[in-house]
Chains A and B, each alone.
Chain A
Amino acid sequence: DAGVTQSPTHLIKTRGQQVTLRCSPISGHKSVSWYQQVLGQGPQFIFQYYEKEERGRGNFPDRFSARQFPNYSSELNVNALLLGDSALYLCASSSGTVNSLGYTFGSGTRLTVV
């Protein structure tokens, strides 16, 4: 079975631009979460979606938005990019049950803002 897949793996954007990151969860998983990992730090929670509804939002500005599609894939959008948005963006999926806690993470999208 395929794991959590994220695209693209790397990209470079200029300050002020907009970016869309994509995530496909493990087949059958209905919960998708997004995390930002700045170099040298632990991941920070951005969003969680379950059954296409937002279930949680971290302490990130409104420039960050996300959505989940009927097939449970998800997109993370970041507008008006800042240099500080440079990070590894991780997507994680889960079936949503208690025993599935812990999530399966993708390999991430490395975003560099110049």
Chain B
Amino acid sequence: AQSVTQLDSQVPVFEEAPVELRCNYSSSVSVYLFWYVQYPNQGLQLLLKYLSGSTLVESINGFEAEFNKSQTSFHLRKPSVHISDTAEYFCAVSDRAGSARQLTFGSGTQLTVLP
């Protein structure tokens, strides 16, 4: 069984400040890792994913996340946030093994960027 813990339910930050959203996972098998973003009244959008290779992955809008196997973490960071980054962010894992690719999500972190 897998579980995902997002340590902060709400993160307020001022515009142009850096931010880190924390994610830890628990799994008995190797996993794939994902970050999704959800804007109000919308579905989930894939922000970035770690499948293999470099442990640092980046998105097109300036977010990055680093897979740390020893700490079982996949924290999301951005050096300078914008008002438009205000949204709910979800960390998720998926088993590497098996044919089903179900995602196990954390409970989410609401990022609020203040002017």
Contacts and interface: CB of A to CB of B under 8 A. Distances in A.
A68 interface: no
Given A42-B90, A43-B90, A44-B105, A102 B34 contact: yes
B102 A101 contact: no
Interface string B41-79: 111111001010000000000000000000000000000
Contacts of B44: 43, 90, 92, 105
B105 to A, nearest CB: 3
A101 B100 contact: no
A58 B104 CA distance: 10
A110 to B, nearest CB: 8
Given A50-B99, A94-B101, A42 B106 contact: yes
A2 interface: no
Contacts of A90: 43-44
A105 B104 CA distance: 15
A104 B103 contact: no
Contacts, number: 64
Contacts of A4: 43
Interface residues of A, number: 28
B100 A48 contact: yes
A107 interface: yes
A107 B32 contact: no
A55 B100 contact: yes
Contacts of B92: 42
A45 B2 CA distance: 12
Contact of B43 (A44, A56, A101, A106): A106
Interface string A27-45: 0000101010000111111
Interface string A75-114: 0000000000000001010100011011111111000000
Interface of A: 4, 31, 33, 35, 40-45, 48, 50, 55-56, 58, 90, 92, 94, 98-99, 101-108
Interface of B: 4, 32, 34, 36, 41-46, 49, 51, 90, 92, 94, 99-108
Q: Sorted from nearest, which 10 A-B pairs have the closest CB atoms?
A: A56-B100, A42-B105, A105-B43, A45-B102, A105-B44, A107-B43, A102-B46, A55-B100, A102-B49, A56-B102
